[in-house]
Amino acid sequence: AEDGELALAYYLRGRERFRLSKFDGSLADFDRYVKLRPDRKSQQWERGIPCYYAGEFQKGADQFELYQTYHDSDVENSVWRFLCMTPLVGVEKAREKLLPIKNDPRVPMMTIFDMYRGEKTPEDVMAAAREGEPTKEELAGRLFYSHLYIGLYEESLGHDKSAREHILKACDDYRETKSLNRYMWDVARVHAERLRKN
């Protein structure tokens, strides 16, 4: 039980350090967590994200590849692996190595996936996000993820102005959206803080 409690403490502190933009410390805590709980390593997508921000791109790519063995229908996982691979091998090779996703049911995740494959545009993603008759809260969630992943994609292509617009929008306009995974909103926030410093 003590090991379990200690592992949980490292996990929670890893998340908190990420929120504080302490990426190396966050990664160190997640590493300690999976050392104590090796059975949870494949589930640790949260660990992969501080790898990216700490510049540990290969570690991040490996973590997201491992997560695919736990959950193989998560567009976000495939996208984050692409983002980790791009600094290592370039956009085209990273695109070739995108982890395959058959069906992420969340709108507009499959359109986001197709954008990273080079088959759809940011405009297509924004249009897909508005399809159907989502509730106000549901639409806000869709638009948040659209802006976040368009921003990250544009940044990977070197389109800094567009990237900045979308990331700042994800951070600033959806702060109060209750349907969001708060860790992902924190991703938008820490990324926006980084952009605002430059």
The answer to whether the CB of 99 falls within 8 A of the CB of 65 is yes
pLDDT in tens, 11-21: 999 999 999 99
Tokens 């924190």, residue located:
186
Tokens 């409690």, residue located:
5
How many alpha carbons lie under 13 Å from residue 80 in its C-beta half-sphere?
Answer: 28
pLDDT at 132: 97
pLDDT in tens, 98-128: 999 999 999 999 999 999 999 999 999 999 9
Rounded Cα–Cα distance for residues 173 and 193 (Å): 15
Rounded Cα–Cα distance for residues 99 and 106 (Å): 17
pLDDT at 139: 97
Distance of CA 28 to the CA centre of its chain: 19
Tokens 């495939």, residue located:
78
pLDDT at 4: 83
pLDDT at 2: 76
pLDDT in tens, 83-93: 999 999 999 99
pLDDT in tens, 149-168: 999 999 999 999 999 999 99
The answer to whether the CB of 82 falls within 8 A of the CB of 116 is yes
Rounded Cα–Cα distance for residues 171 and 195 (Å): 11
pLDDT at 179 over 90: no
